[in-house]
């Protein structure tokens, strides 16, 4: 997506993965901006910044590791002690998806165990195999993210509330984990533009800073049309990063044409059309994929109940 000037419109796009009509269905709905703001605000509320974890892997990698841990755990076969979630299998799948090096993934797993997201057990069938098991805390963290997306979707599509309610069904939740993971493993990413992903998605708290800027004007001005006041110290403190990290992110975003800063006012930021388009496109992609995955998960769960 080419950056636009302050007075130009940055058009939304239809992902190559989705029919244009499906993207248009979301983006032309009168409550779509409200749904995007709700999802962005929920993302900010749920964000957990940790300086030690931030030095090891980006936010995108961290959330992906959690999802893939659940996915691998579901693949465990009772007659194969080496199946399911093991450190070696998690390292391999993360390397294949370019999420992190084996050493970084191992360090993240250690921290996830410290934080109570995973625990390690020895296989009863082969004591040499150390299996990792997701805890209820990890399940709850991912569940909270899905609830926030489904709640936002419900503002536009009635199915959102149906999906949210269905999360109480273990069969639906298991099917949803698999469907989302398979989409991820096939190459889908909500932020498809490589430049935007490098600037915001692959930097610690990059997407959270973007969400903070577009929601800074309040519910009646989304995104804000006037300059907004930005506290670099507050952003750094909230997201568990350094002030230098936030400053560089804002400078790079300005160079790329996503924001501007009035001359002599380093605490003021103007949100430009490309940043609005980036956030809208991100959640359009997320909504489209989550709806499709949830529909398929519902069908699968229902089929199992009928059998």
Q: What local confidence, expressed as pLDDT, does residue 55 receive? A: 52
Q: Report pLDDT digits (tens) over 22-60.
A: 888 899 999 999 999 999 999 999 887 655 555 545 566
pLDDT at 234: 93
Specify the residue for token string 């999906």.
163
CB proximity list for 127: less than 8 A, separation 6 or greater: none
The reported pLDDT for the residue numbered 121 is 85
Q: Which two tokens stand for residue 89?
A: 């299998």
What does each C-alpha distance from 89 to 92, 94, 149, 272 come to in angstroms? 5, 9, 29, 43
Task: Give the pLDDT score at 147.
Answer: 96
Angle between helices 273-306 and 20-27 in degrees, nearest 10 = 110
Question: What pLDDT is attached to residue 188?
Answer: 86
Give the per-residue pLDDT at 270: 95
**pLDDT for residue 128:** 72
pTM of the model: 0.87
**Which residues contact residue 106 at a Cβ distance below 8 angstroms, ignoring those fewer than 6 apart?**
87, 91
Report d(CA 65, CA 94) in Å as an integer.
7
Question: What is the distance of C-alpha 41 from the center of its chain?
Answer: 13
Residue 10 is predicted with a pLDDT of 44
Q: Which residues of the chain fall below pLDDT 50?
A: 1-11, 14, 56
Q: What is the pLDDT of residues 201-247, one digit of tens each?
A: 888 889 999 999 999 987 888 999 999 999 999 999 988 889 999 99
The domain spans of the chain are: 20-47+136-306
């Amino acid at each position: 997506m080419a950056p636009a000037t302050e007075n130009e419109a940055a058009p939304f796009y239809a992902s190559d993965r989705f029919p244009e009509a499906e993207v248009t269905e979301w983006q032309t709905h009168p409550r779509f901006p409200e749904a995007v703001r709700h999802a962005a605000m929920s993302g900010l509320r749920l964000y957990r910044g940790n300086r030690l974890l931030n030095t090891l892997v980006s936010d995108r990698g961290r959330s992906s590791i959690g999802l893939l841990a659940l996915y691998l755990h579901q693949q465990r076969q009772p007659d194969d002690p080496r199946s399911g979630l093991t450190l070696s299998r998690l390292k391999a799948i993360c390397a294949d998806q370019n999420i992190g090096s084996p050493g970084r993934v191992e360090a993240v797993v250690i921290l996830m165990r410290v934080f109570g997201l995973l625990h390690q057990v020895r296989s009863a069938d082969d004591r040499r195999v150390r299996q990792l098991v997701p805890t209820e805390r990890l399940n709850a963290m991912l569940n909270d993210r899905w609830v926030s997306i489904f709640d936002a979707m419900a503002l536009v599509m009635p199915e959102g509330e149906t999906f949210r309610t269905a999360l109480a069904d273990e069969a639906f939740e298991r099917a949803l984990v698999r469907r989302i993971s398979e989409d991820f493993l096939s190459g889908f990413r909500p932020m498809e533009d490589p430049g935007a992903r490098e600037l915001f998605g692959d930097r610690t708290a990059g997407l959270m800073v973007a969400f903070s800027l577009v929601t800074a004007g309040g519910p009646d001005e989304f995104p804000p049309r006037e300059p907004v006041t930005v506290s670099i110290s507050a952003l750094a403190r909230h997201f568990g990063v350094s002030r230098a990290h936030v400053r560089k992110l804002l400078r790079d975003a300005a160079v790329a044409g996503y924001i501007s800063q009035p001359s002599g006012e380093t605490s003021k930021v103007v949100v430009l059309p490309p940043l609005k388009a980036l956030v809208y496109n991100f959640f359009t992609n997320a909504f489209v994929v989550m709806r499709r995955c949830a529909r398929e998960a519902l069908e699968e769960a229902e089929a199992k109940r009928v059998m």
